[in-house]
């Protein structure tokens, strides 16, 4: 089976106003047509404007979260269908900041992933262990358990990706060693094959957690690493492009 097309996705988190769309335009303007998919996931307030600004370019616009229902009395929430209507093509679900800060369980993450597929969009399903879990020797068990619990069967034959993001590596400047990254990505691939058979080879498995232009090449060329989910370094076009060029 040929390797999945790598995906480099930027997660802007709660950063950015209309003026920041210039950074996204600068990324789009300098893409050099290499074999990579590029996405930027701005705050929900910018999705529509960014989609319009990037129309006709190779940069996809994504969202950072969604509700699991299509519509209803859920004050403050946004459904996957609304994100699609605003121009989003991908949706991050299960980011550790949502798992930790909003008590999101694997079961809820799976329902959100199902909602993303229902809306015709592509989920990026995040998993990752805490430092305490890694120190206790439980990283593989925790992460493979999250993969099993967070992927609905509706993903079968649909485009999606996994993002392995150790919680302790996000925004800290720390990263696992390359053998640790490879061990985890291989374990995730084995679970995908167990769940989806040969189709489990199709989704790219992204690494996320303090990816920067200077460590991107090593990480992106590690075994089973099919791209990156990038937080801080996606906010500035030059940094994000440095990571994209490392593919
Ligand atoms: C993230 O939040 O998904 C992330 C990977 O952040 P950072 O790159 O800043 O560590």
Q: Look up the CATH number of domain 7-244.
A: 3.20.20.70
What is residue 240's DSSP assignment? H
Please give the Cα distance from 190 to 102 (Å, whole number): 29
**DSSP β-ladder status, 161-164 and 122-127:** parallel
Question: What Rg do the C-alpha atoms of the chain give, in angstroms?
Answer: 17
**Is residue 217 packed enough to be buried (19+ CB in 10 Å), middle (13-18) or exposed (0-12)?**
middle
Q: How far is CA 158 from CA 154, 161, 183, 242, in A?
A: 8, 10, 25, 30
Q: Report which ligand 1 atom has the smallest distance to the Cα of 208.
A: 5
Q: Which atom of ligand 1 is nearest to the CA of 230?
A: 8
Rounded to 10 deg, the angle between the 139-150 and 178-196 helix axes is 30
- Domain locations in the chain? 7-244
**Res 4: pLDDT:** 86
Q: Is 120 helix (H, G, I), strand (E, B) or coil?
A: coil
Tell me how far the alpha carbon of residue 197 lies from the centroid of ligand 1, in angstroms: 30
Pairing verdict, β 7-11 and 227-230: parallel
Q: Which residue lies with its CA nearest to atom 3 of ligand 1?
A: 231
Kindly give the distance from the C-alpha atom of residue 169 to the centroid of ligand 1, in angstroms, as a whole number. Answer: 8
Active site residues: 95, 165
The C-alpha atoms of residue 237 and residue 31 are separated, in whole angstroms, by 11
Q: Determine the residue of 230, 236, 239, 244 to mutate for testing ligand 1's pocket, defined as the one with the most ligand atoms within 8 A of the Cβ atom.
A: 230
Centre of ligand 1 to C-alpha 72, Å, is: 31
Chain CA centroid to CA 189, Å = 16
CA 207 distance to own-chain centroid: 9
Instruction: Show pLDDT as tens, one digit a residue, over the chain (247 residues).
Output: 678 899 999 999 999 999 999 999 999 999 988 899 999 999 999 999 999 999 999 999 999 999 999 999 999 999 999 999 999 999 999 999 999 999 999 999 999 999 999 999 999 999 999 999 999 999 999 999 999 999 999 999 999 999 999 999 999 999 999 999 999 999 999 999 999 999 999 999 999 999 999 999 999 999 999 999 999 999 999 999 999 999 9
Atom of ligand 1 minimally distant from the CA of 228: 5
> What pTM value is reported for the model?
0.97
Ligand 1 test: best mutation among 164, 209, 227, most atoms within 8 Å of CB? 209
Q: What burial class does residue 73 get, using C-beta atoms within 10 Å of its C-beta: 0-12 exposed, 13-18 middle, 19+ buried? A: exposed
Contact indicator for 176, 129 with CB cutoff of 8 Å? no
Q: Which atom of ligand 1 is nearest to the CA of 212?
A: 8
Distance 84 CA to ligand 1 centre (A): 24
The first and second tokens of residue 242, run together, are: 């440095």
Beta partners for 230? 10
Q: Locate 171 and state its tokens.
A: 């925004």
Task: Identify which of 7, 11, 128 to mutate to test ligand 1's pocket (most ligand atoms within 8 A of the CB).
Answer: 11
pLDDT at 33: 80
Instruction: Indicate the SS3 state at residue 165.
Output: coil
Ligand 1: centre distance to CA 207 (Å)? 10
Residue nearest to atom 6 of ligand 1 (CA): 231
């Amino acid at each position: 089976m040929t390797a999945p097309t790598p995906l480099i996705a930027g997660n802007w988190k709660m950063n950015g106003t209309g003026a920041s769309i210039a950074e996204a335009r600068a990324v789009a303007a300098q893409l050099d047509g290499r074999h990579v998919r590029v996405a930027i996931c701005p705050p929900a307030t910018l999705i529509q404007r960014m989609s319009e600004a990037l129309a006709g370019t190779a940069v996809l616009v994504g969202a950072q979260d969604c509700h699991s229902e299509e519509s209803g009395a859920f004050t403050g929430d946004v459904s996957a269908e609304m994100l699609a209507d605003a121009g989003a093509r991908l949706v991050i679900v299960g980011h550790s900041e949502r798992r930790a800060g909003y008590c999101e369980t694997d079961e809820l993450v799976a329902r959100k992933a199902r909602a993303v597929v229902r809306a015709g969009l592509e989920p990026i399903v995040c998993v990752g262990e805490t430092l305490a879990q890694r120190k206790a020797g439980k990283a593989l068990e925790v992460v493979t358990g999250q993969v099993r619990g967070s992927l609905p069967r509706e993903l079968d034959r649909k485009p999606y990706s996994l993002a392995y993001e150790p919680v302790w590596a996000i925004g800290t400047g720390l990263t696992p060693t390359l053998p640790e990254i490879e061990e985890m990505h291989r374990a995730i691939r084995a679970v995908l094959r167990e769940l989806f058979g040969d189709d489990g080879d199709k989704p790219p498995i992204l690494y996320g957690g303090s990816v920067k232009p200077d460590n991107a090449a090593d990480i992106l060329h590690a075994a089973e690493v099919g791209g990156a989910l990038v937080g801080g370094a996606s906010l500035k076009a030059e940094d994000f492009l440095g990571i994209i060029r490392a593919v």
